[in-house]
Chain A
Amino acid sequence: MVHSARVLALPNPKPTPPVSKAALYPLAPKPVGVPARAVRIGRSIVAQLAAPVLTIAFLLILWQILASSPTSALPSPLKVIDDSWEIIVNPFKVGNGIDQGLFWHVTASLVRVGYGYALAAVVGIGFGVLLGQSTLAMRGLDPVFQVLRTIPPLAWLPLSLAAFRDGQPSAIFVIFITSVWPILINTSVGIRNIPQDYRNVAKVLRLSPIEFFIRIMVPATVPHMFTGLRIGIGLSWLAIVAAEMLIGGVGIGFFIWDAWNSSLISDIIVALVYVGVVGFLLDRSIAAVGHLLTRGTAAQ
């Protein structure tokens, strides 16, 4: 079940100031020939990758040992590869109905997340600005939002099915309602945290409301906004799998549910690997965009 919608305001991650190479390696030798440099870079990549690769190998071996007994309820890694070879090697397969390659299932889920999340970003940032700027709006809307945001995403699904009478918009609505709260609340917190000094500067310069929005509010709030956007994308991905299990059709969630109904446990494991990797990439890509946009606002 997806209950983690309650973690909303993470502290604003402070980007670490850039440290020059020279400061890190005060005794670094002068630049040498290309082969020597290639060796050094290669060595550092190996050093970076060694730990995760070894950890994964260890976990796989452990899993293999634990699941090897003939009475084991879950398949071992080798058995997963053996059972699900078909879907592992054919991610782009195009078939009839829900008989599609995993790539297409993931894509269908991503499209739903894309719609719901984009809507949540627009509405969340919009209302976040309103709540941050207006004490009256804060007083009126905050209690409502505080109650609404604690409702688990899936609890909205029956209601949205009743309202939309169709799976696709219902799933999109669930994504929207899941991810809008962290975006909204973090944006409003960001705006409330704009230092009084910046507001005073704007007043002395007599910036217009639009100039204030562009020159001060947006740059000062972007780090908070992206904290919210990042939590939001994570929650969206958590919610879509559960929602799709219930609405059916093409999508990674229903693929998992369908595999369970057909007792294809190995297929479920392959699908979970996809879900995990895609969720990780989503999180990292939002973080990367945020990092790009907040370069200038680094620790002051």
Chain B
Amino acid sequence: MAYLTIDHVGISFQRAGASTEVLRDVNLSIDKGEYVSIIGHSGCGKSTVLNIVAGLLEPTQGGVLLEGRAVSGPGPDRAVVFQNHSLLPWLTVRENVELAVNKVFRGKKSKAERRDWTRHNLELVHMAHAENKRPHEISGGMKQRVGIARALAMEPKILLLDEPFGALDALTRAHLQDQVMEIHGRLGNTIIMITHDVDEAVLLSDRIVMMTNGPAATIGEDLRVDLARPRRRLELVGNPTYNDARAAVLEFLYARHRAPTLAA
């Protein structure tokens, strides 16, 4: 039995009497500790898959199993790192993480333990120095690191990253990708990441799941990336496995499943 199973999931949205089928028959099994990227053109419904796993959306067909149990509704065992960080602006960096820690570990850890755990997670993303700053006082990359710390602090069974680096500049993005790889190497989290960046997907993932274009999008191809970890971006330049994986994803996205707007 796989750790996480997405089983024949489909979803349709009703709007003004018309029904739009966004996803049809999505099947995916993920093992514990795997890093899986879902890639596809914008609008194909890849974020919808993530929201269904998170429990923020209810599928019309099929369901999601985590450790053999059906998922219903959102919860901290499936922590989400949102694209636009979603930190609460009236709380400091520490309070943002603390809100999650206090909620998840109330009654399980003492007050001092919870404070240490908050601190520990901020240190993990190298943000402990700014714990008393408010979100508007720190950079976009820093906010996203705090978002990651908040998610990690919930000790989720699975970590859901929704285009976590999409809003960042290239240098910050690379830096953050390295940090996420390091954390994944150290803690062995199970991760699903939504992305539209081919290099990011190949560099970070054990598997790349490619989605066809909507409506009624589904999984077109599931590619395993057999690169040893830890991976270093500089050493992968010219690596044949890396290049093959990259070429395969590019071929899927731009030759076989071009974005409808580009095909015109």
Do these two chains interact? yes
Interface set of A (CB-CB < 8 Å, partner B): 17, 195, 197-198, 200-201, 203-207, 211, 215-216, 219-220, 296-300
Chain B's closest residue to A204 (CB) is: B74
Q: Which residues of A contact B135 (CB under 8 A)?
A: 300
Bound CA–CA A297/B135 (angstroms): 10
**Contact between chains at A205 and B104 (CB < 8 Å):** yes
**Contact between chains at A204 and B134 (CB < 8 Å):** no
**Contact between chains at A206 and B89 (CB < 8 Å):** no
Given contact pairs A17-B136, A200-B56, A219-B90, A205 touches B82 in the complex (Cβ within 8 A): no
Interface residues of B in 46-79 (CB under 8 A from A): 54-56, 73-76, 78-79
Q: How many A-B residue pairs have C-beta atoms within 8 angstroms? Tell me.
A: 58
A291 shortest CB reach to chain B, Å: 14
6 nearest A-B pairs in the assembled complex, by CB-CB distance: A296-B90, A197-B86, A300-B89, A219-B90, A203-B74, A297-B90
Chain B's closest residue to A211 (CB) is: B103
Task: Report which of A200, A206, A211, A299 forms a contact with B80, defined as CB distance below 8 A.
Answer: A200
Q: Which residues of B contact A211 (CB under 8 A)?
A: 103
Bound CA–CA A137/B134 (angstroms): 35
Given contact pairs A197-B84, A200-B86, A205 touches B99 in the complex (Cβ within 8 A): yes
B167 sits at the interface (CB 8 A): no
Q: Which bracket fits the contact residues of B?
A: 20 to 34
Which of A17, A203, A205, A211 has most chain B Cβ within 10 Å? A205
Q: Which residues of A contact B134 (CB under 8 A)?
A: 296, 298
A232 shortest CB reach to chain B, Å: 23
Bound CA–CA A207/B154 (angstroms): 13
**Contact between chains at A200 and B82 (CB < 8 Å):** yes
**Contact between chains at A296 and B89 (CB < 8 Å):** yes
Interface set of B (CB-CB < 8 Å, partner A): 54-56, 73-76, 78-80, 82, 84, 86, 88-91, 99-100, 103-104, 134-136, 154
Given contact pairs A198-B86, A200-B82, A205-B104, A299 touches B75 in the complex (Cβ within 8 A): no
Q: Which residues of B contact A300 (CB under 8 A)?
A: 89, 135-136
Chain B's closest residue to A215 (CB) is: B99
**Contact between chains at B89 and A201 (CB < 8 Å):** no
Q: Which residues of B contact A216 (CB under 8 A)?
A: 88
Bound CA–CA A200/B54 (angstroms): 10
A46 shortest CB reach to chain B, Å: 35
Chain A's closest residue to B160 (CB) is: A204
Q: Which residues of A contact B84 (CB under 8 A)?
A: 197
B50 shortest CB reach to chain A, Å: 11
Q: Which residues of B contact A207 (CB under 8 A)?
A: 103
Bound CA–CA A6/B161 (angstroms): 46
Task: Report which of B76, B88, B89 forms a contact with A204, defined as CB distance below 8 A.
Answer: B76
**Contact between chains at A204 and B136 (CB < 8 Å):** no
B64 shortest CB reach to chain A, Å: 15
**Contact between chains at B99 and A299 (CB < 8 Å):** no
Q: Which residues of B contact A200 (CB under 8 A)?
A: 56, 74, 80, 82, 86
A278 shortest CB reach to chain B, Å: 32
10 contacts between A and B (CB under 8 A): A17-B136, A200-B86, A203-B74, A204-B76, A205-B99, A205-B103, A207-B103, A215-B88, A220-B90, A296-B91
Q: Which residues of A contact B89 (CB under 8 A)?
A: 296-298, 300
Chain A's closest residue to B134 (CB) is: A296
Bound CA–CA A195/B82 (angstroms): 13
Which of B84, B104, B134 has most chain A Cβ within 10 Å? B134
Chain B's closest residue to A218 (CB) is: B90
**Contact between chains at A299 and B136 (CB < 8 Å):** yes
Bound CA–CA A158/B62 (angstroms): 63
**Contact between chains at B90 and A204 (CB < 8 Å):** no
Extra pairs beyond A205-B99, A297-B90, A298-B136 (17, CB < 8 Å): A17-B136, A197-B82, A197-B86, A200-B56, A201-B86, A203-B55, A204-B75, A204-B76, A204-B78, A204-B79, A204-B80, A206-B103, A207-B103, A216-B88, A296-B134, A297-B89, A298-B134
**Contact between chains at B88 and A206 (CB < 8 Å):** no
Q: Which residues of B contact A203 (CB under 8 A)?
A: 55-56, 73-74
Q: Which residues of A contact B75 (CB under 8 A)?
A: 204, 206
Q: Which residues of A contact B78 (CB under 8 A)?
A: 204
Bound CA–CA A14/B79 (angstroms): 31
Bound CA–CA A211/B79 (angstroms): 19
Q: Which residues of A contact B76 (CB under 8 A)?
A: 204-206
Given contact pairs A207-B103, A215-B99, A300-B135, A198 touches B56 in the complex (Cβ within 8 A): no
A159 shortest CB reach to chain B, Å: 42
A97 shortest CB reach to chain B, Å: 51
Bound CA–CA A298/B92 (angstroms): 12
**Contact between chains at B80 and A198 (CB < 8 Å):** no
Bound CA–CA A197/B220 (angstroms): 30
